[in-house]
């Protein structure tokens, strides 16, 4: 069993991007400039955005963080988005989700110019992804594809079973891995809350992607010997032994599943 | 075994649309107006467009057919598209595919205003379909969903196996039937040319959608007893006994598969 080390891979990718940015800048190009809009004070969102700002620094991007209050109206937010769409200094931007309940996230996603939509959530980017055209790809599914590719895990002709049909992970990764591409070409089964006899599918998986958000849901009896397991789950589970009062739990019962696998992502502990 | 009669269903749907149009017009609304652009003289395209014009007449739509020569440039075609995009009299339009080789079909699809893209091929519509948002749905996949729904064939929790990953049928129908919706909720497996041991998947199918374009490819040994079979294939096969010199062949070997099925679409003969 081999661990798929996403953190080490992220470091490597950032090194590659930093080298590319350095070359661009040496050739007289401006630094890429990423902006992020954070509405309110959701603590997980604060963490995510801080990571993105830090990643920009690491690779040599300029970054701008726009903080808006929890009371921001949808119209005000759309106005900020229009400014970023029209600002030639800004190459791409994200609006951190979730948004306060008074703001419709679909309206926000649609308002972002798809050419600056680095999250890849705009329907134009989703549609182009499905059609196999160049586009911004959503981060988690693209990360999974890269994790497989850079670990030389064969995908062509393999049976990939995806559990969970979210717009952010399950649906896009199932489409990306089914594409006619050297980094894909999987036979893909998309399972979800309405799937009957789920284990009958997961036991067929050469590559199993668990993205349903139920802690330790995937147990040893659901996994084929030699499978590759990608655990996308990060659910907060109360844990009095932690300073924060919780730990992040994966969707896979790591201790019992890991010995069966050829490759598996590490269990989330934080 | 029961035949799924798409022709009878189409007639019924047209009757419903005609009644709705009559109500709209009685309430003072203008007739819906569909335009079609046909470039060149491809004989299959001529037939398709003629059917669409006829369907418009049957349901009470106005229709406009714009015929352009095989020598039309991409720039000229894009200009016609811009005119239709901006014409408030035109509610929707299609550009019949395939186009002459000098014209890039992706550029054409992208040029159509997605709000008039009744074919549902614009990435915005594809993306919104994936995300479960209101949009124009592509005709063949939506036809399959309607064929299942109007025949009261249960889809929730059923294993649907789609063979073929085209942008027009395989990919969209696999996404549509996996959605969290009363007319979907299938567990969906998408198979294609790189799938290994295809029969191992198709034999699991409660609903099998054959959309690969290989005449009589699906044989009895690939089908589970009681399955629902949707045959999307229409390949021209030479047939000297026909006046046209060919017949249209389905992807399913009807004679041997039909006795196994609960429901099956008829074999194409024309």
- Number of neighbours of residue A157 by Cβ within 10 angstroms: 15
CB contact under 8 A, A126 and B125: no
Residue B270 lies inside a defined structural domain of this protein:
no
Residue B71 lies inside a defined structural domain of this protein:
yes
Find the helix or strand (DSSP H, E) in which A146 lies.
Answer: helix A139-150
Average pLDDT (A165-184) is: 97
Torsion of CA A27, A29, A31, A36, to 10 degrees: -150
Using an 8 Å Cβ cutoff, are A116 and A92 in contact?
yes
Can you give the CATH number for the domain in which A111 is found? 3.40.50.10860
CB contact under 8 A, A130 and B195: no
Exactly one of B52, B158, B171, B253 is catalytic; name it.
B52
Distance from CA of B132 to the nearest CA of A (A): 9
One domain, residues A83 and A155: no
Question: Total domain count for chain B?
Answer: 2
Beta-strand runs (E) in B18-61: 33-39
Instruction: Show the domain range for A65.
Output: 18-123
Residue A117 lies inside a defined structural domain of this protein:
yes
One domain, residues B145 and B191: yes
Using an 8 Å Cβ cutoff, are B99 and B70 in contact?
no
Q: Is the peptide bond before B98 cis (omega within 30 degrees of 0)?
A: yes
Torsion of CA A54, A9, A177, B128, to 10 degrees: 0
For residue B266, give the 3-state DSSP assignment.
coil
Mutation for testing the A interface, residue in B117, B181, B189, B199 having most A CBs under 10 Å: B189
Q: What is the pLDDT of residues A74-129, one digit of tens each?
A: 999 999 999 999 999 999 999 999 999 999 999 999 999 999 999 999 999 999 99
Q: Is the pLDDT of residue A142 over 60?
A: yes
Residue B37 lies inside a defined structural domain of this protein:
yes
Residue B13 lies inside a defined structural domain of this protein:
no
CB contact under 8 A, A126 and B131: yes
Residue B5 lies inside a defined structural domain of this protein:
no
Half-sphere exposure of A270 (CA within 13 A, CB side): 10
- Minimal Cβ distance to B127: which of A126, A185, A187: A126
Residue B124 lies inside a defined structural domain of this protein:
no
Specify the pLDDT at position A268: 62
Its pTM stands at 0.95
Residue A43's pLDDT band (cuts 50, 70, 90): confident
One domain, residues B189 and B228: yes
Query: What are A48's two structure tokens?
Result: 């995510």
- Is A96 an active-site residue? yes
Using an 8 Å Cβ cutoff, are A234 and A242 in contact?
no
Using an 8 Å Cβ cutoff, are A257 and A250 in contact?
no
Q: Is the pLDDT of residue B131 over 50?
A: yes
Provide the greatest CA pair distance for chain B.
58
Distance from C-alpha of B140 to C-alpha of B121, rounded to nearest angstrom: 12
Distance from C-alpha of B181 to C-alpha of B158, rounded to nearest angstrom: 13
One domain, residues B164 and B258: yes
Residue B218 lies inside a defined structural domain of this protein:
yes
Q: What is the pLDDT of residues B166-225, one digit of tens each?
A: 999 999 999 999 999 999 999 999 999 999 999 999 999 999 999 999 999 999 999 999
Distance from C-alpha of B172 to C-alpha of B166, rounded to nearest angstrom: 8
One domain, residues A164 and A219: yes
Residues of A in contact with B171 (CB under 8 A): 130-131, 175, 178
């Amino acid at each position: 069993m081999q661990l798929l080390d996403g953190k080490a891979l992220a470091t490597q990718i950032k090194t590659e991007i930093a080298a590319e940015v350095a070359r661009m800048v040496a050739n007289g190009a401006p630094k890429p400039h990423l902006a992020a809009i954070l509405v309110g004070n959701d603590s997980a969102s604060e963490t995510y955005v801080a990571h993105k700002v830090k990643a920009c620094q690491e690779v040599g991007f300029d970054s701008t963080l726009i903080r808006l209050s929890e009371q921001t109206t949808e119209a005000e937010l759309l106005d900020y988005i229009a400014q970023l769409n029209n600002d030639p200094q800004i190459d791409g931007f994200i609006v951190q989700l979730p948004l306060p309940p008074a703001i419709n996230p679909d309206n926000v996603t649609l308002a972002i110019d798809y050419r600056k939509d680095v999250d890849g959530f705009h329907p134009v980017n989703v549609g182009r992804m499905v059609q196999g055209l160049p586009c911004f790809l959503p981060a988690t599914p693209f990360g999974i594809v890269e994790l497989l590719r850079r670990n030389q895990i064969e995908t062509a002709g393999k049976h990939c079973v995806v559990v969970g049909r979210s717009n952010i992970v399950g649906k896009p990764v199932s489409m990306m891995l089914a594409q006619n591409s050297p980094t894909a070409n999987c036979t893909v089964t998309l399972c979800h809350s309405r799937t009957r006899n789920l284990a009958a599918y997961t036991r067929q998986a050469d590559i199993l992607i668990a993205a349903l958000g139920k802690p330790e849901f995937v147990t040893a009896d659901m996994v084929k010997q030699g499978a590759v397991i990608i655990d996308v789950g990060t659910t907060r589970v109360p844990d009095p032994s932690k300073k924060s009062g919780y730990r992040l739990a994966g969707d896979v019962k790591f201790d019992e599943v890991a010995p069966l696998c050829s490759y598996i992502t590490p269990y989330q502990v934080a």
